[in-house]
Structure 1
Amino acid sequence: MLRQLHSLSGLVATLFVVLLTISGAVLSLNPLIERSQANIAGTASISVAELAGKLATRYPGAEQIQRRPSGSIIVYFTDGDQTGADLINPVTGETIGAYSNSPIMVWIKNLHRSYLLGTPGRVVAGVAAFFMLLLTFSGAVMLVNRLGGWRHICRPIQGPFKQRLHTEAGRAAVLGLILSASTGLYMSTMTFELIPDYSSTEPDFPTHVSGGAPASIDTLSTLKSIPLTEFRELVYPYPDDPMGVYSITTDQGSGFVDQSTGELLSYQAYGNPQKLYEFIYMLHTGEGLWWLGLLLGLSALAVPLMAWTGIQIWWKRKQSATTINYNSAARLADTVILVGSESNSTWGFAKTLHDALHSLGFQVHTASMNQIGKPYPQAKRMFILTATYGDGDAPASANHFLARLSKITKTPDVPVAVLGFGDRQFPAFCQFAKEVEAALITKGWPQLLPLETIHRQSPQEFARWGSVVGSVLDKELTLLHTPVHPPCTTLTLVERVDYGAEVQAPTAVLRFEAAPSHRGWLSRCLKRARLPHFDAGDLVGILPPDSSVPRFYSLASASKSGMLEICVRHHPDGLCSGFLHGLSVGDTIEAFIKLNPSFRPASGKGPVILIGAGTGIGPLVGFIRNNKAHRPMHLYWGGRSPQSDFLYETELKRYLEDKRLTKLNPVFSRISQGAYVQNKIIEDDKILGQLIEEGAQFLICGGRNMASSVAVALDKVIAPLGIDVATLKAQGRYREDVY
């Protein structure tokens, strides 16, 4: 519900909020500009009378003196039929230069306040401020929920690039946007008298004026008692008007001064409402606090970025929405599928299961997990497919599931199977699915199957789970899930290096370039530019012939090199690996990129520890290649034989020489019995402990069994330091790409 409110508010008010924030960001420069022009040194001992006396000779036609919140002094005057305004040095009384409001800034201020539409525009601006406040609060709550609470608000954000960019910008700007939006909304309500306007409170005009000859302004006692640091404005009486008075405004209040005696004739001190208004105005504009103005301006600049990324996230989610056909009514279904999804991808798997069961003759009802509690009188089995959101939280379509489940008093006799979707990169892998299964068991629901998990929405793992389900149903259940993929790029193999044949582990490093779509010199010139963008650690999805299910491989190169490089081992009966190993130079493949921004070295200068085995070395070599800044990098890698499958040996030794690689730690199982990369980690416990204390981060790539063994070994190594792998994951210092 909160996400829908956030998305709808953003779509409705995007244009107006963006205009409001961009214009506000430009106006936030005014306090800094004025501050740079102000000369405030040595003004603490100067009184208003002294300043006015200095200006009396130079500006005999002075009408008004004003002190801006920045400290700048401006005198407004007439000279014959001409009017003017000058910026003044308050210490000497000398003219710094002419003062005028920039027409551009005036136009931008009108755009900010009313969109140049007068009163109707002011209404729209107020509504836009409300929407900005609503968007900021709802976004902040969603961010806190995603990160697992306020205490984790600084935790690294994982996920696709645009989603991370959206949330990182929001996290950086949230306080500034709340301040700008709330103060702007307050002033808007005051403009339309929804709350009283305290900004125009003035003293009563005096009824008794001496009417004597005007005294020299620098002798007036009231003006002599007011220091320049507390002064705001002095308005002169009309010339040759014996009943005229000076109007004086200070930080504490305003009053009228007799031009002959210097007596304060009337005075109105500011009340608390007036002080509150001025404080809110200062917070909104930054006038008097130029640094706050800049911070508010920088926060405002995040809004166009968040609007752009937010619309793209919304559109992608909308495109991924799934329609369930032949959806039986809940009261008639013999099979129920409940779905917990945050970005709609889990619905795609649910549809595949729904369609497969329907084709076998089952009456299937598919709905969101939040609809638990409906009666299912004919149900004989239930499947729950759910993702996990953030730090183990429920996804959007399941955020009320556990609460509604707890209110069910009569437990249906319906066996349940829970299938969790997640990414082992995250510490709380499939945590919500685990909580769902535990809650169902506690409530007494029978199990159809134990909990199973799917890593990175793997169609292969889903198909294997479907086979298990089929055996329980005594049916042949084939789950061929084909996710929607980006358009494919045709790639040409230009180089291959083969390893491992002698140790029965044939492995190849394959390098591809974008295949030219046209013949001739223009094609050759543009060939490299047509590679889609990717970095080392991202994934390439390759479609083998006669298959719509892609296989994913970690990339060892970045697109800026003009080359797409992968490291592939030939598995027996492996459809895609067999296809790739059968390629010759000049052959082509169809592939697409899947970004994997959570698997790459985080920014900083701390050491990076790279751990892998077999083909898992691919992206790790890519990280080392890009280490032009010579950040400390230590590589632990396991193979079979240094003579047969020492992948990238020549290149790694070259990186040792040019300092892109700090230490190379290879281990080979055929040389030393039982020598695996996890053993080398335990052996180097003191070295690794020191690196961890220096802020080291870990990047692990390879098979799941290897990654599990590495995690166990590292837990032993770092236990004396009072931390564990789970803590490193939560800190964003332990990242995996496992398969």
Structure 2
Amino acid sequence: MIRALHRWPGLLALALVTLLAVSGAALSVFPAAERLAAPQADEDMSVADLATRIQSAYPGVEQIKRSPSGRITAYWFDGGAPGSAVIDPATGTGVASADPNPFERWLTNLHRSLFLDDSGRLLMAAGAVAMLVLAVSGFLLVARRVGGWRRWLAPLRGPLAARVHVELARGAVLGLLLSSATALWMTASTFGFLPDQGAPPELPSAVSGRAGALLASMPLLTATPVSALRELSFPYPEDATDVFTLKTDDGVGCIDQGTGATLGWSGLSGWERVSETVYMLHTGQGASLLGLLLGLTALAVPAMGATGLFIWLAGRARRPRIRGNAAPGRAETIILVGSEGGSSWGFAATLHAALTRAGQRVHAAPMSGFDPARFSGARRYLVLAATYGDGGAPASAKGFLDRLARLSAVPDAPLAVLGFGDRSFPAFCAYARSVAAAAESKGWRLLLPFETVDRQSPQEFARWGRALGEALGTALELDHQPVRPETSALTLVSRRDYGHDVQAPTAILRFALPRLSVWQRLTGQGFARFEAGDLLGIVPEGSPILRFYSLASGRRDGFVEIVVRRHVGGICSSALTTLEPGGTVAAFIRRNPGFHAARDRTPLILIGAGTGIGPLAGFIRANGSRRPIHLFFGMRHPDSDFLYREELQGWAAGGRLRHLSTAVSRGARPHYVQDALVADQLEVVRAIRKGARVMVCGGRQMAAGVAEAMTRMLEPLGLSPEVLKAEGRYVEDVY
């Protein structure tokens, strides 16, 4: 909901909001320039002194005005001809023209009304509403992304466009909130919706009817400093009953021109004071530095608009175009898709085409847009859901479970849920399972039992399609052709071999970075942005199944590095472990943000065995801040498969690694990495008490043994791996 509130005002009002922001930023310069150029009055100068000097220079003076910048302007008649000038308060004479800057006036009219009078004011007010909605929703989205407003300045991860968008938002959101809210207040005041008019001073019934009192003899003028002056109006020369009118920061007063006595005074109302404060905050008049700061924040709007548009277009590009997508209210079959990288949308397109050929009206939509009221003609729901990280919702499924929980009654149309994942990961299809379980607990009737597709298998998808066809009473063949990701050729530059003596051939492979286009560098696509813990996807020659390896390096390291163990019958691992320097492989990057080491000073407890050392070594290599890191590493034998031995020694000497504990499973005293944990229990518990984060990488059995040992160690503290996982302090990359 919040994301939609942020997206659509931004897209629909992008040009208008940008125009408001840019013109407002340009206008913010004028108050500061006026402040610098205008001669300033002495602090102890009174209005009486100033008026006397000006009257001596211009006997026909009718009005004196002082702007919030301190600029003093006088208006007079001389021989029937009007005149005006910017006044030097030290002499009372003019030093510059009082004519308004024509460009400033043009820009002001553009900013306020687009030269369309009241209609334009209303249009620009709509732009201010859009900016206010964008600022509020943006504030909430940034807070959600960084983990709460208390972590407002936390380091960011993600594509370049997204990081630029959020960085600009973090710096500009408060200024945009202030600018948009004050703009709406001023519009309401302009159209008379606010009671901001103060009452004029009440005059006594009798005025002296005389003239000629000296300005210096008027108590109100002598007691008022020039710094508080706003406007002094002189009486009409031929009308002895007219009075001086003085407007100050505190109110309005009237003075008898014959006696110099104060005839009446009216203080500013509360609404007037608020409105003047709002005017000052919005225009910078009287607070030029604040105006410049707000102008700078406004300049972030075009950049945020461009990056926001790019993020939206990139998101749409990841979703394949589905031809013949029926209107939501007319569709018989609703396909809801939960996808992170876009592959599930490809399966949805195949299913959509097959059902359409079978004569059905089908509508495909993201799970995040689930709303039974929109799908009034639905006769069945088909959910295709991937899983993000350790059982989380993928990008296009955010909020689905919350929406389902809030339903007072589930749809009458039955439901089928199909999960997509990789069976080698412990959280295989965990999110899809949670969707199926939540639907069943709400009493939603199932069209088919819950099923899964492992590693995007076209065969398993086709088998599920046949079962769906039987349930629908029609033959349904789902011939899905997976769209291969765009790859780059990686050239091997070096390799180090281990493990032959313990029958576990393993290699550390280092590849050169591929050449990047300017567009990739700007957008952070592909190999332009990655870090240790992300995944390197390998497309094996002659095999339809992709293979993924955890990266042991980041973009800043200047190379791509993985650790690979050869498996019996493994096409990809065999090809990689026999690859010689100069050879190439087709590869791509898949982000894995759930297994990144945050760039902060929080202690890390890294636990891995065998090739699981890969990303952990990458975290240590990138530890330029020397945060406390304790590595627990399990191997078969130190003489055969002590991966990264030399680097670990160097990192320890350089302060990047605080402690190293090893476990050897083959030798005189075999023990495993969980045994090493128990041996250093006091150190581990002490670090967790200080807020340490635990990161586990390696085989499934190893991870289970570590979790069991950690459960026993943490129990006296009232903690457990599950509690730490909920806090984001215990993460696993398990295969």
Question: Could you tell me the TM-score, scaled by structure 1's length?
Answer: 0.76
Contact 2:493–2:581 (8 Å) recurs in 1: yes
Structure-1 residue corresponding to 2:673: 677
Q: CA deviation at 1:275?
A: 3.6
Structure-2 residue corresponding to 1:252: 250
C-alpha spacing 1:288/1:395, structure 2 compared with 1 (3 Å): farther
- Give the 5 Å matches for 1:24-103: 24-25=24-25, 27-28=27-28, 48-49=47-48, 68-69=67-68, 72=70, 74=72, 76=74, 84-85=85-86
Q: CA deviation at 1:477?
A: 9.4
Contact 2:609–2:633 (8 Å) recurs in 1: yes
Specify the SS of the correspondent of 1:643.
helix
Instruction: Give the Cα separation in 1 of the matches to 2:687 and 2:38.
Output: 51
Specify the SS of the correspondent of 1:85.
strand
Contact 2:385–2:432 (8 Å) recurs in 1: no
Structure-2 residue corresponding to 1:9: 9
Structure-1 residue corresponding to 2:409: 407
C-alpha spacing 1:55/1:404, structure 2 compared with 1 (3 Å): closer
Instruction: Give the Cα separation in 1 of the matches to 2:88 and 2:600.
Output: 47
Q: CA deviation at 1:300?
A: 3.4
Instruction: Give the Cα separation in 1 of the matches to 2:526 and 2:385.
Output: 38
- Give the 5 Å matches for 1:267-666: 267-285=265-283, 287=285, 293=291, 296-297=294-295, 299-323=297-321, 338-340=336-338, 346-352=344-350, 367-368=364-365, 370=370, 385=385, 395=397, 398=400, 402=404, 406-408=408-410, 416-417=416-417, 419=419, 430=430, 434=434, 436-443=436-443, 445=445, 448-449=448-449, 460=455, 466=461, 482=482, 485=485, 487-514=486-513, 532-547=528-543, 549-666=545-662
Instruction: Give the Cα separation in 1 of the matches to 2:682 and 2:579.
Output: 45
Instruction: Give the Cα separation in 2 of the matches to 1:570 and 1:556.
Output: 17
Specify the SS of the correspondent of 1:631.
coil
Specify the SS of the correspondent of 1:262.
coil
Structure-2 residue corresponding to 1:261: 259
Task: Report the residue type matching 1:506 in the other structure.
Answer: P
Contact 2:492–2:580 (8 Å) recurs in 1: yes
Specify the SS of the correspondent of 2:9.
helix
Q: Deviations over 1:625-671 (max 9, x none)?
A: 33333333332222222111111111121122222222222322224
C-alpha spacing 1:200/1:321, structure 2 compared with 1 (3 Å): farther
- Give the 5 Å matches for 1:134-153: 134-139=133-138
Instruction: Give the Cα separation in 1 of the matches to 2:477 and 2:640.
Output: 42
Q: Deviations over 1:43-73 (max 9, x none)?
A: 5x87544665688889989876555557x46
Instruction: Give the Cα separation in 2 of the matches to 1:33 and 1:331.
Output: 58
Task: Report the residue type matching 1:419 in the other structure.
Answer: G
Structure 1 residues not aligned, in runs of 5+: 518-528
Q: CA deviation at 1:722?
A: 5.1
Specify the SS of the correspondent of 1:443.
coil
Task: Report the residue type matching 2:566 in the other structure.
Answer: H
Contact 1:469–1:477 (8 Å) recurs in 2: no
C-alpha spacing 1:131/1:201, structure 2 compared with 1 (3 Å): farther
Structure-2 residue corresponding to 1:520: none
Task: Report the residue type matching 1:482 in the other structure.
Answer: P
Specify the SS of the correspondent of 1:610.
strand
Instruction: Give the Cα separation in 2 of the matches to 1:48 and 1:533.
Output: 64
Specify the SS of the correspondent of 2:245.
strand
Instruction: Give the Cα separation in 2 of the matches to 1:40 and 1:636.
Output: 70
Structure-2 residue corresponding to 1:525: none
Q: CA deviation at 1:315?
A: 0.8
Instruction: Give the Cα separation in 2 of the matches to 1:109 and 1:541.
Output: 55
Q: CA deviation at 1:587?
A: 1.1
Instruction: Give the Cα separation in 2 of the matches to 1:237 and 1:672.
Output: 109
Task: Report the residue type matching 2:17 in the other structure.
Answer: V
Instruction: Give the Cα separation in 2 of the matches to 1:341 and 1:466.
Output: 16
Task: Report the residue type matching 2:259 in the other structure.
Answer: T
Task: Report the residue type matching 2:641 in the other structure.
Answer: D
Would you say 1:21 and 2:21 are equivalent positions? yes
Contact 1:160–1:595 (8 Å) recurs in 2: no
Q: CA deviation at 1:116?
A: 6.7
Q: Deviations over 1:376-397 (max 9, x none)?
A: 88x8x96653668998699369
Structure 1 stretch displaced more, 616-625 or 414-423: 414-423
Contact 1:47–1:227 (8 Å) recurs in 2: yes
Contact 1:667–1:676 (8 Å) recurs in 2: yes
Contact 2:697–2:733 (8 Å) recurs in 1: yes
C-alpha spacing 1:616/1:160, structure 2 compared with 1 (3 Å): farther
Structure-2 residue corresponding to 1:701: 697
Task: Report the residue type matching 1:512 in the other structure.
Answer: F
Instruction: Give the Cα separation in 2 of the matches to 1:426 and 1:142.
Output: 30
Specify the SS of the correspondent of 2:230.
strand
Q: Deviations over 1:511-539 (max 9, x none)?
A: 2225689xxxxxxxxxxx99634333333
Contact 1:66–1:232 (8 Å) recurs in 2: yes
Contact 1:328–1:363 (8 Å) recurs in 2: no
Q: Deviations over 1:368-413 (max 9, x none)?
A: 5647687888x8x966536689986993694786269752597x8x
Task: Report the residue type matching 2:313 in the other structure.
Answer: W
Task: Report the residue type matching 2:501 in the other structure.
Answer: E
Instruction: Give the Cα separation in 2 of the matches to 1:15 and 1:212.
Output: 60
- Give the 5 Å matches for 1:198-277: 198=196, 210=208, 212-226=210-224, 230-236=228-234, 245-277=243-275
Contact 1:173–1:302 (8 Å) recurs in 2: yes
Q: CA deviation at 1:321?
A: 3.0
Q: Deviations over 1:264-291 (max 9, x none)?
A: 3455544444344324324434555667
Specify the SS of the correspondent of 1:573.
coil
Instruction: Give the Cα separation in 1 of the matches to 2:253 and 2:124.
Output: 34
Contact 1:342–1:397 (8 Å) recurs in 2: no
C-alpha spacing 1:616/1:128, structure 2 compared with 1 (3 Å): same
Structure 1 stretch displaced more, 94-103 or 609-618: 94-103
Specify the SS of the correspondent of 1:627.
coil
Q: Deviations over 1:522-563 (max 9, x none)?
A: xxxxxxx99634333333322111245532323223334442
Contact 2:401–2:438 (8 Å) recurs in 1: no
Instruction: Give the Cα separation in 2 of the matches to 1:330 and 1:13.
Output: 26
C-alpha spacing 1:132/1:371, structure 2 compared with 1 (3 Å): closer
Contact 1:608–1:697 (8 Å) recurs in 2: yes
Question: Could you tell me the TM-score, scaled by structure 2's length?
Answer: 0.76
Instruction: Give the Cα separation in 2 of the matches to 1:61 and 1:731.
Output: 77
Q: Deviations over 1:544-590 (max 9, x none)?
A: 11245532323223334442222222222222222212211111122
Structure-1 residue corresponding to 2:184: 185
RMSD value, Cα: 5.5
Instruction: Give the Cα separation in 2 of the matches to 1:666 and 1:96.
Output: 85
Instruction: Give identity over the alignment, percent.
Output: 40
Task: Report the residue type matching 1:13 in the other structure.
Answer: A
Task: Report the residue type matching 1:493 in the other structure.
Answer: L
Counting matched residue pairs gives 711
